[in-house]
């Protein structure tokens, strides 16, 4: 499934970049919940109450 592959690769890339940035800013513990939330969102597992994303919208 193409969508799933893209989501998994995106989540892995997000973990890598965010982990490096958090370490560089000495914020590994503080950023941890945000990193987890970002990656689970990328995989399609939204947190309760989160606004669903629309893939047809393009950011300006």
**pLDDT tens digits, 13-31:** 999 999 999 999 999 999 9
Q: Within 10 Å of residue 18's Cβ, how many Cβ atoms?
A: 19
- Ordered by start, the domain boundaries in the chain are 2-43
Provide φ and ψ at 43, rounded to 5°.
-85, -5
- What's residue 22's pLDDT? 96
- Does this model's pTM top 0.85? My answer is no
């Amino acid at each position: 499934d193409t969508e799933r592959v893209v989501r998994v690769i995106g989540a892995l890339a997000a973990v890598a970049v965010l982990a490096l940035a958090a370490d560089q800013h000495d914020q590994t513990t503080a950023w941890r919940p945000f990193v987890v939330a970002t990656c689970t969102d990328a995989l399609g597992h939204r947190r309760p109450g989160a606004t669903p994303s629309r893939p047809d919208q393009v950011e300006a």
